[in-house]
């Protein structure tokens, strides 16, 4: 047990870090182009925030939260997502008094007690964006364009952007009635989850993965037929802007997101080869959430991209950069008692901006050479009996094999001149 992490968690090892940094750099660069600023909120929040924000009848809240009572008898939850927390922070820190809209992004771990499988973990990482304070369809299009630009910059192909409008509470009420009427006599054939969703959250039935439920919902009424004028106009405008920006999308009237705060625009980016975990990105508008969390009525929209899923897609398409290790110099100790001098050399290198490593294990010259090669060292710096006696070093260019001797100063000058 002690040598295994909890189920659904994964170590990100040194060999993986370059890939994470690569994705994070693309994200940060693109957010800068779109003028989104980074926000870092705590990993845990009061449970109440998620109950109110995400909705108490959602799978996330009912089945997937890591909730515990802390030593002060408060109910605390590890964040299963970050939209509610960003809205909480927006209100607590009065970000609405600054630039409007607040355009924020985050990268960090989220926690859901999901059934782990490829692309689905209990601790996973999201990059997310929240634009709070603008009702215009322009901002819906902007956040979608941001997601698309990041995925395109990474070079990903065969992605599909699916778009829907889930309407506002008014049109959703009308839709709910029609959907319930349609499903009424099919109710007994639905899975247990969907039977319980029937009264509480019937739209989620459309999203059920159970084949029987999918068959029973064929021909169900579509939300598109129930949208009020305002929601319809908004949705048309979003589509027009995306079309003008040459972003292709598929209208999916069955796209109902798993969190209750969504209104109007809802979208997902899918990468089919990931199978059941094909959603790489999901988001939408949440015009009621700020008010639900105790603020004035304020519109908002955002999305989150699952970083592990993006990594899987990049791997499948062979798009991850080849990360070769690299080191400027490897300091080799060729005789006992060279440790102090060796540490002096390695320190001088590092102080002068060269990455440098030294042998810590008193290994043979052959073993040290092997390590220098494995780490792609440009130079090896040799410290043997003669060098120590004469207060010099031997510097070997690992590519050309050329060797010369000199003081530490000479070594630095020579390395700088060849930089």
Binding region for ligand HAM (CB under 6 A): 81, 83, 112, 114, 119-121, 124, 126, 128, 130, 258-259, 279-284, 286, 302-304, 306, 308-309
CB of 384 to ligand HAM, least distance (A): 53
CA angle 105, 318, 150 (to 5 degrees): 20
- Closer of 175 and 303 to ligand HAM (Cβ): 303
- Closer of 158 and 225 to ligand HAM (Cβ): 158
> Which token pair is 260?
């209750």
- Closer of 53 and 202 to ligand HAM (Cβ): 53
CB of 266 to ligand HAM, least distance (A): 9
What burial class does residue 139 get, using C-beta atoms within 10 Å of its C-beta: 0-12 exposed, 13-18 middle, 19+ buried? buried
CB of 306 to ligand HAM, least distance (A): 2
CB of 330 to ligand HAM, least distance (A): 39
Structure-token match 């927006």, residue found: 90
CB of 227 to ligand HAM, least distance (A): 20
Query: Please, are residues 329 and 303 in contact by the beta-carbon 8 Å criterion?
Result: no
Residue nearest to ligand HAM (CB): 306
CA-CA distance, 36 to 293, in Å (whole number)? 23
- Closer of 283 and 342 to ligand HAM (Cβ): 283
CB of 269 to ligand HAM, least distance (A): 8
CB proximity list for 105: less than 8 A, separation 6 or greater: 27, 31, 36, 37, 38, 39, 127, 128, 129, 130
CB of 34 to ligand HAM, least distance (A): 15
Q: For residue 260, which of 323, 215, 202 has the smallest C-alpha distance?
A: 202
DSSP characters over 207-250: G---HHHHHHTTT---GGGG--HHHHHHHHHHHHHHHHTT---E
- Closer of 32 and 63 to ligand HAM (Cβ): 63
- Closer of 122 and 172 to ligand HAM (Cβ): 122
Query: Helix (H, G, I), strand (E, B), or coil: what is residue 114?
Result: coil
- Closer of 52 and 112 to ligand HAM (Cβ): 112
Q: How many helices (H) and strands (E) does the chain have?
A: 15, 16
Query: Helix (H, G, I), strand (E, B), or coil: what is residue 129?
Result: strand
């Amino acid at each position: 047990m002690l040598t295994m992490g909890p189920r659904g968690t994964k170590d990100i090892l040194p060999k993986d870090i370059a890939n994470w940094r690569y994705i994070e750099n693309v994200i940060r660069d693109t957010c800068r182009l779109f003028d989104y600023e980074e926000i870092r909120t705590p990993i845990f929040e009061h449970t109440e925030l998620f109950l109110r924000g995400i909705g108490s009848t959602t799978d996330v809240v009912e089945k997937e939260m890591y909730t515990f009572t802390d030593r002060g008898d408060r109910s605390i939850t590890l964040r299963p997502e970050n939209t509610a927390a960003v809205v909480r922070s927006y209100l607590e820190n009065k970000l609405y008094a600054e630039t409007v809209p607040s355009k924020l992004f985050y990268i960090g771990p989220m926690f859901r007690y999901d059934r782990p499988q490829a692309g689905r973990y209990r601790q996973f990482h999201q990059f997310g964006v929240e634009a709070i304070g603008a009702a215009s369809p322009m901002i819906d299009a902007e956040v979608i364009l941001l997601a698309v630009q990041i995925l395109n910059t990474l070079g990903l192909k065969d992605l599909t952007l699916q778009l829907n409008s889930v309407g506002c509470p008014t049109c959703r009420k009308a839709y709910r009635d029609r959907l319930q009427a349609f499903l009424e006599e099919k109710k007994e054939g639905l899975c247990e989850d969907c039977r319980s969703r029937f009264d509480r959250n019937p739209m989620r039935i459309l999203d059920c993965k159970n084949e029987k439920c999918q068959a029973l919902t064929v021909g169900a009424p579509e939300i598109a037929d129930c949208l009020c004028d305002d929601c319809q106009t908004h949705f048309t405008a979003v589509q027009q802007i995306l079309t003008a920006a040459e972003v292709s999308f598929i209208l999916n009237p069955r796209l109902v997101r798993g969190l209750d705060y969504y209104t109007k625009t809802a979208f997902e980016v899918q990468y089919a080869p990931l199978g059941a975990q094909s959603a790489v990105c999901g988001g939408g508008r949440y015009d009621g959430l700020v008010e639900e969390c105790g603020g004035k009525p304020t519109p908002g929209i955002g999305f989150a991209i699952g970083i592990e899923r993006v990594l899987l897609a990049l791997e499948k398409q062979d798009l991850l950069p080849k990360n070769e290790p690299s080191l400027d110099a490897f300091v080799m100790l060729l005789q006992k008692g060279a440790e102090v001098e060796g540490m002096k050399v390695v320190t001088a290198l590092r102080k002068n901006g060269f990455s440098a490593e030294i042998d810590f294990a008193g290994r043979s010259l052959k073993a040290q050479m092997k390590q220098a090669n494995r780490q792609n060292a440009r130079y090896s710096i040799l410290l043997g009996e003669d060098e120590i006696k004469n207060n010099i070093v031997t510097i070997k260019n690992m590519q050309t094999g050329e060797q010369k001797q000199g003081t530490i100063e000479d070594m630095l000058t020579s390395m700088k001149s060849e930089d």
